[in-house]
Chains A and B, each alone.
Chain A
Amino acid sequence: MTADKAIDDNTSPPEAPEAAKPSGIRALLIEVASMTQFSGRFFKEAFLPPYEINEFLKQSYLIGNKSLPLVGITAFIMGLVFTMQSQPTLAKFGATSWLPAMVSVAMIREISPVITALICAGKVGSGIGAELASMRVTEQIDAMEVAGNRPFNYIVVSRISAAILMVPLLVIFADGIALIGSFIGVNLSGHTSFNVFFGHVFNKLDFIDVFPAFVKTFFFGFAIGMISCYKGYNSNEGTEGVGRAANSAVVLASLAIFIIDMIAVQVSNLFN
C-alpha cells in the first residue's frame, strides 16, 4: 500500500491502547515528519489535474469574506493607536514629521502582516480545523475516500491554496486600513492633509520594506492552511478530537507565524 494512503489510514481504532502512543521527543518528531509528508502530498496534488476550481473559489471567498471585518477593524485601531502613542515621544525630539514614515514602515514591514496572520490563524485556522475534524468524525471524509473521490484534493488542496492566496490580500487590505487609521490619528491632535501624509508614507517606503513583507505573507497563508488542514484531516479522537484539532490548529499556526517571521527578518537582512 502506498505511503500516501497511509496518511488516510486513521479511522479511529477500537480500544487502541494508550501505551502504544509515542510521547515526548519521539511524538514531536513523528508529528513533524507527518506534517512534512502532508505538505509534500499537498504540493504533489496541487499541480496535478483535476483542479478543484469551484471549491478553491468558494474557500477563497469564505476565508476572505469571514476575516475582512475583523482584519479591517483591528488594522484601523492598530494604525490609530500606534500613531497616537508615538506622537508625544516624537514631539519631544521635534520629529513629528517622521511619524507617517515611521508608522508606515512599522505597519507594512512587521505589524500588519503578523497581526493579520494571527487573526487568520485564530479565525480561519480554528474553522478549518474544526470543520475537517468534524467531517472525519462523521465519516464524511471516509465516504469520499471509498467513493474514489480523492478527498485530499477536494478538501485539503483547495483550502490550503485559498489560504495562500487570501492571507496576502488581507494583509494588503490591512496595510491600507492601518494607514488610514494612522492618518486619522495624526489629525486628532493637529492638521495634516491627506496628500502630505501619504506623500511622506510613499517617499520613505523602499522596495526592501515592501517586498519581503509581502513574500512572507504567502508563507503565513501556507502555514495557516496546512497546519489547520493537517490537524483537522488527521483528527481521530471522536468528538473530543474536534475541539482539540481546532485548538491545536490555532496554537501551532500562531507559533509557525512567529517562526516564519523570524526567518523572514534574517533573510531580508541579508539583502539589506
Chain B
Amino acid sequence: MQTTTDIKPQTAADANTSEEEVVHIEHLKKSFGSHEVLKDVTLHLNKGENLIVMGKSGTGKSVLIKCMVGLMDPDAGSISIFGQSIPDLNEKELNEVRKKIGFLFQSAALYDSMTVRENLEFPLRDNKEMNGEEKTKMVEEVLNNVGLIDAIDKMPSELSGGMRKRIGLARTLIQRPDIILYDEPTTGLDPITSREISHLIVDIQKKYGSAALVITHDLDCARITGNRVILLNEGLVIAEGTYDELENSHDERVCDFFK
C-alpha cells in the first residue's frame, strides 16, 4: 500500500486519459441578483483526466462546481454528467449521480462532532452490501492511501490544515468516485504540504483512474496535477490548453495570471 511518503514526484501528464467525456457543460450561466458570475462557460472533462480551472477570485470557479453537484441551480445552459442532465434530475436521481462524484471542499468540511473513523464511515452508511468489518477495512485502506492511519481515532479539531485536507480527500475516496471535484485543495497550506497534496492528487488519479476537476489559484498545483488547464475570467473561458501552452501564451490576460 502506498503512503504519501512513498509518492514519487510525478505529474498528471504521465497518467492515461481517454477521450470518453464524463462531464459536458455548455453555455452555463449563473447570476446572483444583478451580478453575473458565470456568463457563458462551456467545458468538458474526459475519463481519467485532471482538468484544472484557474481564475481570479470571484470569477465563479466554486459556483461552477457547486452547479455541477446540484448545490446551486444554473440560470441557463446544460450540465451533463455521465450523460445525465443534472438540473433535470429529481432528488433521488441526483443522489445516485452524486455517489459517483467526490467533492473535496476548500475547508475539507469534516464533521466536527465525529472522529476521523466516523467521518469516513459516514458516506458508507447507506451501503447495505458492506458489513461493519468491510467498512472498517475500507476506512483503513483509504487512510493508508493518504498516509494518516494513525489519526483514525482523532477528532477533526486535533488535526492540522494539511491533515484535514487529506482526511477530507480520504472521505471523498471511500465512495470510489469516478469524478473528483477539488475546490482549492492547496489553499491555506504551506508550500511543502501544498506540494504533497498536489502529488497525492496525481497519485489518486493514477491509482483510482478517476477524472478530476481541480479549482485552484496555485500555479504549482496546476502544473503538477493538470492534464489540461482552463482559465476563467469574468465568467468566461478565456484560454484552454496544457499548462505549458498557457504559460507561454501571448494573451495579455493569460500572461497576467501566469506572471
Contacts and interface: CB of A to CB of B under 8 A. Distances in A.
A9 B69 CA distance: 11
A191 interface: no
A146 B71 contact: yes
Contacts of B189: none
Given A11-B66, A140-B110, 15 more contacts: A1-B70, A15-B35, A16-B33, A17-B34, A17-B35, A20-B32, A138-B107, A142-B105, A143-B103, A146-B101, A146-B103, A147-B99, A147-B123, A147-B171, A148-B96
16 contacts: A1-B87, A5-B91, A9-B72, A11-B66, A15-B32, A15-B35, A16-B35, A139-B106, A143-B105, A143-B171, A145-B71, A146-B71, A146-B103, A147-B99, A147-B171, A148-B98
B98 A14 contact: no
B27 interface: no
B82 interface: no
A15 B58 contact: yes
Nearest to A21: B33
Contacts of A15: 32, 35, 58
Nearest to B97: A148
A145 B109 CA distance: 12
Contact of B112 (A2, A8, A140): A140
Given A147-B98, A148-B99, A16 B32 contact: yes
Nearest to B110: A140
B125 interface: yes
Contacts of A139: 105-107, 109
A181 B109 CA distance: 48
Contact of A9 (B35, B73, B110): B73
B239 interface: no
Interface string B167-191: 0000100010000000000000000
A268 to B, nearest CB: 40
Interface in B99-123: 99, 101, 103, 105-107, 109-112, 122-123
B42 interface: no
Given A1-B73, A148-B96, A150-B95, A20 B33 contact: yes
Given A5-B91, A149-B122, A149-B125, A143 B109 contact: yes
Given A8-B71, A149-B122, A138 B109 contact: yes
A8 B98 CA distance: 15
A11 B35 contact: no
Nearest first, the 8 closest Cβ-Cβ pairs linking A and B are A20-B33, A148-B95, A13-B32, A143-B109, A17-B33, A139-B109, A148-B98, A146-B103
Interface of B: 32-35, 37, 58, 60, 62-63, 66, 69-73, 87-91, 94-96, 98-99, 101, 103, 105-107, 109-112, 122-123, 125-126, 171, 175
A148 B69 CA distance: 10
Contacts of A145: 69, 71, 98
Nearest to B63: A14
A31 interface: no
Contacts of A8: 71
A149 B103 contact: no
Residue among A6, A20, A146, A149 with most chain B CB within 10 A: A146
B34 A20 contact: yes
Residue among A14, A19, A142, A143 with most chain B CB within 10 A: A143
A142 B34 contact: no
B91 A142 contact: no
Contacts of B32: 13-17, 20
B113 to A, nearest CB: 8
Interface in A92-119: none
Nearest to A17: B33
Contacts of B71: 8-9, 11, 142, 145-146
B98 to A, nearest CB: 4
A19 B95 CA distance: 34
Contacts of B90: 2
